Structure 1
Amino acid sequence: MTDKPEAEPAAKPPFVAVRGIGKRFGGVIALSDVTTEVHAGEVTCVLGDNGAGKSTLIKILAGVHVHTEGELLIDGEVTTLDSPREALGAGIATVYQDLAVVPLMPVWRNFFLGSEPTKGWGPFRRLDVAFMKKTAKDELATMGIDLRDVDQTVGTLSGGERQCVAIARAVHFGARVLILDEPTAALGVKQSGMVLKHIAKARERGLGVVLITHNPHHAYPVGDRFMLLRRGKSIGEFTKSEISLDELTSLMAGRAELEALGEELEHSLGPDSEIAKSVKAGVEA
């Protein structure tokens, strides 16, 4: 009697998945038929220009908006997130561009803002300041963030350091999925590199990361999969092995639209027009 081969374990479902997701505001279609996944230990990059639908998508994932079409799945189960609190309860944390920090408060206080631990009882209950300071310092160090002093106010930090504090805070409070809304939009090269390094560290710790950006040069080094949005619809989803940085940049720039514009300008202004030549050079670059 031969032994039966052992059945292969079922593949683990993604932390979060959307299937044909869409959102309407009255007669306005903000998002339509978008499908993507967020896996543990992966960075899913959502790219698009202003008005592409990025904000609507992350607000659906963050529980701010309820989708009107398609399905939202968490751990393979179809669900609806009715509030940001529900999203947090499901392990989905969103770091918006404004970061929700208080500039005049110290780092350790911002780290625990709204979730401050206490000690003592009754009229003697008070904030456990020593615990908060130590925990904030240790958690930041674990993420590779070396601040001079957790007593310094958040307002004295650079933009990149503030982003990193917000990321470490979300990780500490149990996020499984971390959504980052344009974290490098207002940062210089060095600070952007710092934020991208800590996104990679969050991935190494097993989080699923959703990076919202309009910059393919920031997305490509840390991304594992890429979804491009234009005018509320997906124009493609690719794994890193399926697309190069040049191809991703070309799709972001809308090469087909630029070619059509160049032809139109050549026809209306003539082939010797400096404007037409400029557009054509941009397409061929």
Structure 2
Amino acid sequence: MSPSPVPLLSMRGISKNFGAVEALAGVDLDVFAHEVVALVGDNGAGKSTLAKVVAGAYTPDSGLIEIAGEPTSIPTPAAARTLGVATVFQDLALCDNLDVTGNLFLGREVRRGGLRDDGYMEATARRVLEALNSRIPSARTPLSTLSAGQRQSVAIARTLIGDPRIVVLDEPTAALSVAQTAEVLTHIERLRELGLAVILISHNMTDVRAVSDRIVVLRHGRNNGTFDAATTSHEEVLAAITGATVRRSPRLHALR
């Protein structure tokens, strides 16, 4: 399905300084519904800083953010969730002493009449796992028994609680086996099929090329190229990451 002509997320001129360190300098980013955009770059390129701006963990010093065409600010993680932004950082923030359902609803437990509605939460957890085509055997499986790949599946499934529009995934396949990576990449493709806008941060160019529609390169906190994942060579992207080439990020009309 073709993306909507209006990005679900549009960022223009995003800058962020930490003292004398310029982490982001005028970064532009568009992500559409039904699209996976990979955000790549060397260490210190600004990828995680930009992700934390989207997630509401950092407030940019300047720049414009629009969600579904509406100018907005994302001052806190709670505000991000209200706006339909869900983020999975590398630490996953899961609890071993809870089962899958407990982790999906951690901090967002559903109560009716003052009592926790375990039946509703378990049914919702099953539905979310099925939507992702997850191989986790049960919504009641203890997290402590799951593999690293299954834990990542739980973290991705948790993003669907609350019906988000935008999902940010920070290095979701890091330290996973080949089989576990394949399952997580399938989940990312499923998020796209469900109509979400997905930002994938990754150092693994094989994974990036497997699931992304566009590749956005950051270098020293600046845009250094936007590429079509299906037609661009690995060498072209690598040259932009390392600074062998310097490309201006195309504006919205050039992407469509």
Fold agreement, TM-score > 0.5: yes
Note if 1:191 corresponds to 2:180: yes
Note if 1:245 corresponds to 2:238: no
- 2:136 alignment partner AA: L
Q: Secondary structure at the match of 2:101?
A: helix
Q: Identify the match of residue 114 of structure 1 among 99, 103, 107.
A: 107
Give the 5 Å matches for 1:82-93: 82-93=75-86
Q: Secondary structure at the match of 2:28?
A: strand
CA deviation string 1:136-171 (max 9, x = no partner):
122201210132232222122111111112212212
Contact 2:209 2:230 in 1 (8 A): no
Q: Identity of counterpart residues, as a percentage?
A: 41
1:55 is aligned to: 48
Q: Secondary structure at the match of 2:160?
A: helix
Following TM superposition, by how much is the alpha carbon of 1:26 offset from its aligned partner in structure 2, in angstroms? 2.4
Query: CA 1:101 to 1:256, structure 2 compared with 1: closer, same or farther past 3 Å?
Result: same
Q: Identify the match of residue 102 of structure 1 among 92, 95, 105.
A: 95
2:138 is aligned to: 149
CA–CA separation in structure 2 for the residues paired with 1:214 and 1:43:
15
Give the 5 Å matches for 1:1-285: 12-119=5-112, 121=113, 125-252=114-241, 254=242, 256=244
Greater share of residues in helix: 1
CA RMSD in angstroms comes to 1.8
2:249 is aligned to: none
Relative to the length of structure 2, the TM-score reads: 0.88
Alignment gaps of 5+ in structure 2: 246-256
CA deviation string 1:189-240 (max 9, x = no partner):
1111111110000000000000011111111111111111122122111123
CA–CA separation in structure 2 for the residues paired with 1:45 and 1:242:
14
Contact 2:23 2:49 in 1 (8 A): yes
Q: Secondary structure at the match of 2:23?
A: strand
Contact 2:45 2:220 in 1 (8 A): yes
Following TM superposition, by how much is the alpha carbon of 1:131 offset from its aligned partner in structure 2, in angstroms? 2.1
Contact 2:227 2:237 in 1 (8 A): no
Q: Secondary structure at the match of 2:127?
A: helix
- 2:224 alignment partner AA: I
Following TM superposition, by how much is the alpha carbon of 1:79 offset from its aligned partner in structure 2, in angstroms? 2.1
CA–CA separation in structure 2 for the residues paired with 1:146 and 1:187:
16
Following TM superposition, by how much is the alpha carbon of 1:241 offset from its aligned partner in structure 2, in angstroms? 4.7
CA–CA separation in structure 2 for the residues paired with 1:255 and 1:26:
25
CA deviation string 1:225-266 (max 9, x = no partner):
1111122122111123551234324544x2739xxxxxxxxx
- 1:141 alignment partner AA: E
Following TM superposition, by how much is the alpha carbon of 1:64 offset from its aligned partner in structure 2, in angstroms? 1.1
- 1:133 alignment partner AA: E
Contact 1:36 1:237 in 2 (8 A): no
- Structure showing greater Rg: 1
CA–CA separation in structure 2 for the residues paired with 1:232 and 1:212:
14
CA–CA separation in structure 2 for the residues paired with 1:234 and 1:51:
13
Following TM superposition, by how much is the alpha carbon of 1:135 offset from its aligned partner in structure 2, in angstroms? 1.9
Relative to the length of structure 1, the TM-score reads: 0.80
